Each structure stands twice: as C-alpha cells, then as structure tokens.
Structure 1
Amino acid sequence: MDVPARDKGFTGSIPELYERYLVPLIFEPYAVDLAHRLAARPVGRLLEIAAGTGIVTRKLAALLPANTSITATDLNQAMLDMASSIQTVRPVSWERADALALPFENASFDAVACQFGVMFFPDKVRAFSEVRRVLAPGGVFAFNVWDRIEENEFAATITSALGLLFPQDPPRFLARTPHGHYSLAAIRHALHGAGFASAPGIDTVAARSRATSAEIPAIAYCQGTPLRSEIEAHKTPTLAEATEASANAIRQRFGAGEVEGKIQAHVVVVPC
C-alpha cells in the first residue's frame, strides 16, 4: 500500500512533542529490546535508518562496545536536529539519508537497525534491497513494526474517537501507516524480494504503555505524529477539540488518573 506524503511529515512542533510524549509512552521499551538484540552480536559498524529523535541510537550508544561506530540517519531533518540535540554517551554520526537510496558503499556495515520506520517506506522491497547492499556478508538487519491497531489499545481508542468526531472523513493515519503494515507474510515476501535468502526470525512482543493522565497519550498521538496534519486539514473540529475528545475516550476506557494500555509489535531479525 502506498504511503501518503502527509504521513511522512514530521515537521514543526511534531519532533519535540514526539520526543517528549511518544518516546516514553510507546517507543522506549522496544528501543531497549532492539538494542539488546544487537548488542548480543559482534558489531563493528552499525547503521540506523529512520532514526527519528534517536531513542534507539541512545540505547545502542550505551550498550555497544566503545569501538563500534554508529551512523544514525533519517529522511526528516527536523527529527535529526532533535535527535542530535540530545546528548549521547559517546559520539554518533548523524546524517540525513533516504532509506530508498542510502549514500553508503556496498558492504559498509555489520548491522542495520530500524525502529518503527519500515511502515513509512513507500517501496519496502527497494528499501530492504538498499539495506542488503550496505550490509557486509554475515551482517544482520534488525527492525520492528507495530502489530495491527486492535493490539495497541491507546492508538485504537483514539482512532475510534476521531471517527466519531469526523464521521464524514475520519483521520486514519494511525491505522493506515504505523499500524497498517503488520502482515508477517508481506514482511517475509518483501525481504525475499530484496534478496535476503535466509528466513527472518520474528518475535511478537507485547508491552504496556503507561501515562500519568489520559491527556498524555491524546497529545502524543494527536499532536506528536503526522495525525496532527490530517486533523488540522479538516479545520473544524479543531486540533484542541480532537485532542480533548481523544483524552475523554481514553479516560472512559481506562479510567481517571494514571492510564495503562497494551502495545504490541513484531521484531524481525534477518541475516545477510
């Protein structure tokens, strides 16, 4: 399925809100998981694609040996600017790069990591082919993708709430892109099409998403992702009204005060 251009727009205040709210809400536990999987392998040169605001990068910098070089890339300069502004325990090379045309030589890296970026690639076979090209023989590609939206309770609740608020044209960013590419068969097919000969190892990993109030996941999703642009394109109801409707829906489902919901993702590791 094609990815609309608006779904890839991490600009304006989105990077700051993404880092402040969304990273601790849903990304951090999977960043720890992915970093530990890679730290268990001999990696001298690591490339991260679609690094976002750098949560995986920071975990890798802390876990990998000091002599491992880390190059972190993203298509969105605003996300890279946010990532590079946050201190890492050791130097990281930050570079703007398109995953569909990586600016690196063949066999340049021992590992490639990608946290929740694959869903945004308009041509997944081409992106996976680029990963395979820059991996050295014996290297590994490790990435994760969100499972279907029904397995991710805050995202599902907000999507349903916005469907009621915008009945004529409901914003479907969360279901369409972040949670729209969970098919394991499609993942295996794309990897095979890109030339990965070995079968990938795939684990489905559930975790818990926690926040001190219903407002936090509402702000995180409605204002800290490209869902914001889809809401704002409607003019009315406003972004503030959509955020409040989302918070109310979370409050009704998960209670007042602290809230907690299930999140679930697939973690894929494939050797080159």
Structure 2
Amino acid sequence: MQLPDSDKAFTGAIPELYEQYLVPMIFAPYAADLARRAAALRPARVLELAAGTGALTRELARSLPPQAAIVATDLNPPMLERAQVVGTSRPIAWQVADAMRLPFDDGSFDLVACQFGVMFFPDKAAAFAEARRVLAPGGTLLFNVWDRIEDNHFTHTVCQALAQLFPDAPPDFMMRTPHGYYRQAEIAAHLRQGGFLAAPAVETLPSTSVAASPRIAAMALCQGTPLRADLEARGTDALQHATDCCEQALAQAFGTGSIKGRMQAHVVTVPA
C-alpha cells in the first residue's frame, strides 16, 4: 500500500511536541528495551534508521560501550535537528538519509536498528534489502513495530473519538500507518523478499503508557504526529476542537490527573 506523503512529514510544530509529549508517553520504554537488546549483541558499528528526535539514539549512546560507533539517520531534517538539540551522552554521527536509499557501503555495520519507523517505509521489502546490504556478515537487524491499535489504548480511544467527531470521513492515519503493520506473516514475507533468509525472532511486548493528564495525551497524538495535517485540513478550528474532544474521551476512559494505558508492540530480531 502506497502511503500518502503527509504520513511521513514530521515538520513544523510536530518535532517539538513529539519530543516533549510523545517520547515519554509511548516511546521511552521501548527505546530502553531495544537498547538493551542491542547491547547484548555487542556491535562495533551501529546504524539507526528513522531516528526521529533521538529516543532510541540516546539509549544506545548510554548502553553501548564508548568505542561502539553510532550513526543515527532520519528522512526528516527537522526531527534530526531536534534530536541534536536534546543531544546524547557521548558523540554520535547524525545524518539525513532515506532508508530506501542508504548512503553507506555494503557491509558497513554490525547492527541496523529502527524504533517504530519501519511502518513508514513506502516499500518495506526494498528497505529491508537496503538494511541487509549495509549489514556485515553475522550482523543483525533489530526493530519494533506497534501491534494492532486495539492493544494500544490511548491511541485507540483517540481514534474512536475522532471517528465520532468526523463520522463521514474518520481520520485513519493511526490505523493506516503506525498501527497498520503488525501482522507477523506479512513482516516475515517482506524480510524474505529483502534477502533475510533466517526466520525472524518476534517477541510481543506489552507495556504501559503514562501521561501527566488526558490533555497531554491528546496533544501528543493529535498535534505531535502527522495526524495533525489531516485535522488541520478540516478547517480553521478543527485541530483544536479535535484535541479537546480527544481529551474528554481520554478523561472519561482513564480518569483525570495522571493516566495510564496499555500499549503493545512486536520486537523483531533477524540475522543477516
């Protein structure tokens, strides 16, 4: 399925809101998990794809030994710029790069890692082929993807609220892209097409998302993701009105004050 260009546009106000609200709410626990798995592999050269604002990058910099070289890439310059402002505990290399056309030599890395970015690649098999190409013999591809939206309660609640608000044309970004690539057979097929001959090891990993308030969760999902573009296109006040409605739905479902909700992802490990 060809994704709209807007699904991959993390620009404008999105990088700041993404880093401030979305990273601690849903990305931080899984970044720590991926970094732990990466450290266990003892790679000397690491390439990160779709690094965003650096949630996984920061964990890798802390978890890997100082001599391990880390190159963090993303398609969107504004996201990498925000990541560099936050910084890492030790120097790493930042580079704008398209995962479909990686600007690295064959066999350059021992580990290619990607946190919640694979879903955004227009051609998954082609992106996996590029990851396979830049991996050295014995290297590993390590990534995670969100499980189905029903197992990610904040996001599911927001989507249900938006479907009620816009019944004639419900916004479907969350279901189409972040939560649209969870079927393990499909992932395995794309990996085979990309040249990975070994069967992937897949672990389904539940966790808990935490937000300081329903307002923060609504802001994170409505305004700190490409869903924002869809909502802004619906009228001058649509983004604010949608955020308000989602806040109310989250408060009704999870209470006021600090809220918690179930989230779930698949973690995929496959040797080159």
Q: Which residue of 2 aligns with 1:67?
A: 67
Q: Which amino acid aligns with 1:225?
A: T
Give me the TM-score of the superposition, normalised by structure 1.
0.99
Q: Which residue of 1 aligns with 2:226?
A: 226
Describe how 1:1-272 pairs up with structure 2 within 5 A. Answer: 1-235=1-235, 238-272=238-272
What is the total number of aligned residue pairs between the two structures? 272
Cα displacement (A) at 1:42:
2.0
- Whole-Å Cα distance in 2 between the matches of residues 268 and 149 of structure 1? 18
Cα displacement (A) at 1:207:
0.3
Is the CA contact 1:110–1:135 (under 8 Å) kept in the aligned structure 2? yes
Q: Which amino acid aligns with 2:250?
A: I
What secondary structure sits across from 2:41 in the alignment? coil
Which 10-residue stretch deviates more, 162-171 or 149-158?
A: 162-171
Is the CA contact 1:45–1:111 (under 8 Å) kept in the aligned structure 2? yes
Give me the TM-score of the superposition, normalised by structure 2.
0.99
- Whole-Å Cα distance in 2 between the matches of residues 110 and 258 of structure 1? 40
- Whole-Å Cα distance in 1 between the matches of residues 236 and 19 of structure 2? 27
Mark the runs of 5 or more structure 2 residues left unpaired by the alignment: none
Mark the runs of 5 or more structure 1 residues left unpaired by the alignment: none
- Whole-Å Cα distance in 1 between the matches of residues 204 and 268 of structure 2? 9
Is the CA contact 1:165–1:237 (under 8 Å) kept in the aligned structure 2? no
Deviation per residue, 1:168-209 (Å, 9 max, x gap): 111111111000110100000000011101111100000001
- Whole-Å Cα distance in 2 between the matches of residues 84 and 212 of structure 1? 25
- Whole-Å Cα distance in 2 between the matches of residues 226 and 22 of structure 1? 12
- Whole-Å Cα distance in 1 between the matches of residues 256 and 48 of structure 2? 38
Cα displacement (A) at 1:236:
5.6
- Whole-Å Cα distance in 2 between the matches of residues 190 and 65 of structure 1? 32
Deviation per residue, 1:30-74 (Å, 9 max, x gap): 000000001011210000000000010000000101100000000
What secondary structure sits across from 1:62 in the alignment? helix
Which 10-residue stretch deviates more, 262-271 or 251-260?
A: 251-260
Q: Which amino acid aligns with 2:204?
A: T
Structure 1 outlier segments of 4+, above 2 Å: none
What secondary structure sits across from 1:46 in the alignment? strand
What secondary structure sits across from 2:269 in the alignment? strand
- Whole-Å Cα distance in 2 between the matches of residues 182 and 134 of structure 1? 25
Cα displacement (A) at 1:237:
5.0
Is the CA contact 1:110–1:139 (under 8 Å) kept in the aligned structure 2? yes
Deviation per residue, 1:124-176 (Å, 9 max, x gap): 00000000000000000000000000000000000010111111111111111
- Whole-Å Cα distance in 2 between the matches of residues 270 and 85 of structure 1? 32
Q: Which amino acid aligns with 1:223?
A: Q
Is the CA contact 1:202–1:268 (under 8 Å) kept in the aligned structure 2? yes
Is the CA contact 1:102–1:130 (under 8 Å) kept in the aligned structure 2? yes
Deviation per residue, 1:216-238 (Å, 9 max, x gap): 11000000000000001111652
Q: Which amino acid aligns with 2:50?
A: A
- Whole-Å Cα distance in 2 between the matches of residues 92 and 232 of structure 1? 36
- Whole-Å Cα distance in 2 between the matches of residues 15 and 35 of structure 1? 22
- Whole-Å Cα distance in 1 between the matches of residues 131 and 84 of structure 2? 23
What secondary structure sits across from 1:242 in the alignment? helix
Cα displacement (A) at 1:83:
0.6
